[in-house]
Amino acid sequence: MTTQTATPVRTLEIDRSHSEVAFQVRHLLSKVRGRFSDFSGTIQYDEDSPENSRVDVSIQAHSIDTAEGDRDKHLRSADFFDVGTYPTLTFASTSVTPRGGNIYDVGGDLTIRGVTRHVVLPASFLGTAQDPWGNTKFVFEAELSLNRKDFGLSWNAALETGGFLVGDEVKVTLSIQAK
């Protein structure tokens, strides 16, 4: 008789010092890249039944950093994130659907600037690794594209040559280590 032991659901905390929440958006003809440096979150990870897993993340809007002070100040203003009124961006998963291998569609509610939209985040579980201090780290990556206007981030400037200064599509990339 074989006895199977279930793997417990693990509560993992995002390790901010080894994780990144980054984005890029078209500006004129090139792309501007940036990141948020202040974020936290938990992952309830059920290895045996990933569909029972859950993800909750909070990002502090004031921590936006595009390596250009004046632009960051503008992004924090009412034209964009309005950090005084909407200080936090959040994601709360509502479903995790395995796609095969270690790839999952993580559905959930993303709230930016007080607007909540359901999004599906294609995520990969890259595995686990031990750090030099014996801590087991779980590593995940995800990437999705959003239309910033769907979340009330609609400021733009028309260009004399036609078109607009800032693109509507924002590519968001997450690289997460959790412990």
Q: For the chain, list the domains and their CATH numbers.
A: 10-178 (2.40.128.110)
Report which of 152, 138, 149, 148 is spatially closest to residue 10, judged by C-alpha positions.
Answer: 138
Q: What is the pTM of this model?
A: 0.88
pLDDT at 26 over 80: no
Give the torsion sign (CA, 95, 99, 104, 105). Answer: negative
Pairwise pLDDT comparison (6 vs 95), residue with the higher score: 95
- CA atoms of 132 and 67, how far apart (whole Å): 32
Cβ burial, residue 3 (10 Å; 0-12/13-18/19+): exposed
pLDDT in tens, 45-68: 998 899 999 999 999 999 999 999
